[in-house]
């Protein structure tokens, strides 16, 4: 059963690695933290626990996307609106 979740875990890792390129503290910082987080649970065999960890990883993806969208929004707002008029 845990072997069938392997593809999901690899996909999650790749997605997080891709999103980490734009992390505010740098890609190297994000990559090292990501690797440590995945290595911490590398020996997990329980399929339910693995599903919980995958769900947590998907939550992190959503949080990162929200962080990036907020950063882009603030940059666009600074670019187009004069703060002196507000």
The total number of structural domains in the chain stands at 1
pLDDT in tens, 1-50: 467 889 999 999 999 999 999 888 999 999 999 999 999 999 999 999 99
SS (H, E, C) the chain: CHHHHHHHHHHHHHHHHHHHHHCCCCHHHHHHHHHHHHHHCCCCCCHHHHHHHHHHHHHHHHHHHHHHHHHHHHHHHHHHCCHHHC
Residue showing tokens 């390129």? 21
Vertex 12 angle, CA 6 and 15, to 5°: 140
The answer to whether the predicted template modeling score (pTM) of the entire model surpasses 0.75 is: yes
Which residues span the domain enclosing 51? 4-82
Residue 79 banded pLDDT, cuts 50, 70, 90: confident
């Amino acid at each position: 059963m845990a072997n069938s979740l392997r593809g999901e875990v690899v996909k999650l890792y790749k997605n997080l690695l891709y999103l980490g390129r734009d992390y505010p503290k740098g890609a190297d910082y994000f990559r090292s933290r990501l690797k440590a987080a995945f290595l911490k649970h590398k020996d997990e065999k329980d399929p339910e626990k693995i599903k919980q960890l995958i769900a947590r990883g998907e939550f992190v993806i959503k949080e990162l996307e929200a962080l990036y969208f907020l950063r882009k929004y603030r940059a666009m707002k600074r670019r187009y609106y004069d703060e002196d008029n507000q």
